[in-house]
Structure 1
Amino acid sequence: MNEQRSAATSGAGFDAGPGEDLRHHLPILMYHSISPASATPRFQRFAMSPAVLASHLAFLSAAGYQTLTVTEAMTSLDRRALPERSVVLTFDDGYADFHTAALPILTEYRMRATLYVVTGYVGGTARWLADLGEQGRPMLAWSQLREAVAEGVEVGAHSHTHPQLDRLDATRLTAEVRRPKALLEDQLDLPVTSFAYPFGYRSSSSTAAVAEAGYDNACVVDNLPAPHEGVDRHVLPRLTVNADTSVQQLERLLHRPPGRGRAAAASLKRGLWHAARRVGPFQPQWRDPTA
């Protein structure tokens, strides 16, 4: 671990550049699987080794960053009390390796995180990943989720079956948003206030459904930092961290300014991709895994 700490801090000192005020933006990082096992080629970029995650957290610790959960960050913004070097760590889907690999590293560095869970597959496997050849990847069990909560992890909802929410009818959309909240709150005996849109796909209808279901905040992707002022807390942008993201690349992500050009490009890309999917073949991916 000492070698990982040394390597992680070797890139410190990145200059954000003249005129860039980074104090008014919050980086929300998005991770997925943290696994020492091999992954299929199409899923490989989502499966980070524990050693790489450890190097990231060692860097954040040495650089003086303070980690918050998504809901803690939103509360701090409301109170105008967000620490200057704040960062949010999120982990999507709820793979079993969060408990076996990620959680021990988070605990070692005393770092906070938000875990977004696909509730329909708890205790089973990631069957929605069949097209990537990862349908057998183990998912967290309820007992492991409770242990994560006991370690200070915020558990949020990531839908029930990981569908494309922006292509569902109103009835299915409501079920996919409300059912995971009810399940998580019942099983974990705590309020669930955060949501993440599967694939990052959203629409005005899905955003409204999330807000109406009682979630305080929700995350998309967009690869932008979240602004302190004027942010829609049900459309919080995140920064993608891939399996091969180095410490130096992570540092650049943390210092990435939003800029109007970046925001406009993200919006255009999102609109074009949504249009392309509407005319393409639709794979609903929402069949109840318990059926």
Structure 2
Amino acid sequence: MRTHGARPYDSASVNSVSLVQKTRTSCHSQRPSLPRAFGVFRPIVLLKTVRGEILRSREKAEIAVKKGIGWLALSPPFDSWVRCQLWTRVNVVYAHYVGKSVPYFADFYVGSTIERFARDLAALKKHFEFASLAEVVRQDPSRGKPSRPLLALTFDDGFDTLRNGVMEVLDHYAIRATSFVATSTIGNVNLMWRNKLSAIRALREESLYIGQYNSLMPKVGLPGISRGDELLPASRDWPMALKEELVDLLWRACDMPALEEFLDEHRPYFTWEGLERWLAAGHGVGLHTATHPFCSRLGTEGIRAEIEEPAALLKATLGLRFLPFSYPFGVRLGAAAERQLYEDGVFDCAFGINGLVPQGTPAYRLERASMEENLTFNVFGNVLLEGIRRPAGRRSAI
């Protein structure tokens, strides 16, 4: 007899309920414990750790190899050949910031203290005679051969060398250097976009700036990042016309200090008055563009705004009769474009950062060697390697 509302006996229903209960019991019994679940991810973590160690090992090995090659280049029997080669080169070295680590340069800092800078200059002075950049570029054989190859010292990014002790070191060694300035930062009216990114990384939590960066990038169709050390490399893909806007948006999103306050506190760059003092002391000033873009990605309007107009500004304001130009990142314009700028008198010479080039290289195609890392390799070791790599028929005896 059926009671109203009661469900009739149904063996299929009972079996299905039993099956669900058994399945649930089975699932619970088979669910791994928390430590076992984490074990699934251990290979991934291990692979990332191993990859990081391999990269670090490669970097250490590369540094060791470069040190070894630099040592060989200054040791018999190679040293005499290398010195002979340096007589035939346009010898120019460059640095950026010298001093204690600061937020706006923390990502690029390699320990370039005043003490290390002085030691490096003393080491270079054993092999070179320091001269102005104009003298090195325009070497005049009629003036007679100096006792050692000529070498010029340059600085990129326009950091103020009057306030941090650099000027005193240069005076001590009687060296006249050239500072390449980005005109938009003169007078500390702005912070160069790469320096802003470095300051954000130095002063804010990684999770904060990664999150804010990843929120901004879809607006310009670029991917996000997963680690803090990807920020600077990823920014190289930004559209150059938007770099100032993007970095300022990120600066504000990360709740950084008001830019004026930051600049008043740190005052990283030359002022116009400082540049006049620098020139009066016998040093030189060059152009490093207006805002530090990748010049290879500039069109006609970009070349005008980043190179032609800033060059005219420096010449008119400082009365320069010799204006060298250095490429940000060492990334050049096309050969035809830079030759045209040279022939139009926009600049007197142009430098990348790919080592020391032979004399006779066109003035608009010159290069420099870094003195910030692996100095001995960059200046001497590279020359030795180039000699080894030449075809046998063109190689001088070592």
TM (norm. structure 2) is 0.55
Give CA deviations for 1:19-51 in whole Å, capped at 9, x if unaligned. Answer: 543221233111001122434542223x62111
Structure 1, gaps ≥5 residues long? 1-10, 264-291
Looking at structure 1, the residues matched to 308 and 272 of structure 2 have their Cα atoms a distance apart, in angstroms, of 18
* Equivalent of residue 165 in structure 1, options 295, 309, 316: 295
Q: Which residue number in structure 2 is paired with residue 183 of structure 1?
A: 313
Give yes or no for the alignment of 1:67 onto 2:67.
no
Specify whether residues 16 and 153 from structure 1 end up closer, same or farther in structure 2 by C-alpha distance, changes over 3 A only.
farther
Looking at structure 1, the residues matched to 130 and 180 of structure 2 have their Cα atoms a distance apart, in angstroms, of 16
Give the number of the structure whose residues are more often helix, by fraction: 2
Specify whether residues 122 and 208 from structure 1 end up closer, same or farther in structure 2 by C-alpha distance, changes over 3 A only.
same
Whether the 8 Å CA contact 1:177–1:209 is kept in 2: the answer is no
* Equivalent of residue 43 in structure 1, options 108, 111, 124: 108
Give yes or no for the alignment of 1:88 onto 2:152.
yes
Give CA deviations for 1:6-31 in whole Å, capped at 9, x if unaligned. Answer: xxxxx9x9326445432212331110
Give the CA deviation at 1:69.
2.3
Q: Which residue number in structure 2 is paired with residue 201 of structure 1?
A: 331
Q: Which residue number in structure 1 is paired with residue 179 of structure 2?
A: 115
Identity across matched positions, percent: 25
Kindly report which structure 2 residues correspond to 1:1-291, keeping only aligned pairs within 5 A, or say none: 14-15=74-75, 17-18=77-78, 19-20=81-82, 21-22=84-85, 23-39=87-103, 41-45=106-110, 48-61=112-125, 63=126, 65-77=128-140, 81=144, 83=146, 84-97=148-161, 99-124=163-188, 125-129=190-194, 130-133=196-199, 138-202=268-332, 203-214=334-345, 215-222=347-354, 224-228=355-359, 230-242=360-372, 245=373, 249-256=374-381, 257=383, 259=386
Q: Which runs of 4+ in 1 moved over 4 A?
A: 77-82, 134-137, 260-263
Q: Which protein has the larger Cα radius of gyration, Structure 1 or Structure 2? A: 2
Whether the 8 Å CA contact 1:91–1:114 is kept in 2: the answer is yes
Give the number of the structure whose residues are more often strand, by fraction: 1
Give the CA deviation at 1:55.
1.0
Q: How many residues align?
A: 244
Specify whether residues 241 and 205 from structure 1 end up closer, same or farther in structure 2 by C-alpha distance, changes over 3 A only.
same
Whether the 8 Å CA contact 2:192–2:292 is kept in 1: the answer is no
SS in 2 for 1:44: coil
Give the CA deviation at 1:149.
0.4
Give the CA deviation at 1:205.
4.8
Specify whether residues 161 and 82 from structure 1 end up closer, same or farther in structure 2 by C-alpha distance, changes over 3 A only.
farther
Give the CA deviation at 1:71.
1.6
Specify whether residues 226 and 71 from structure 1 end up closer, same or farther in structure 2 by C-alpha distance, changes over 3 A only.
same
Give the CA deviation at 1:90.
0.8
Looking at structure 2, the residues matched to 16 and 147 of structure 1 have their Cα atoms a distance apart, in angstroms, of 44
The one-letter code sitting in structure 1 at the alignment partner of 2:197 is: D
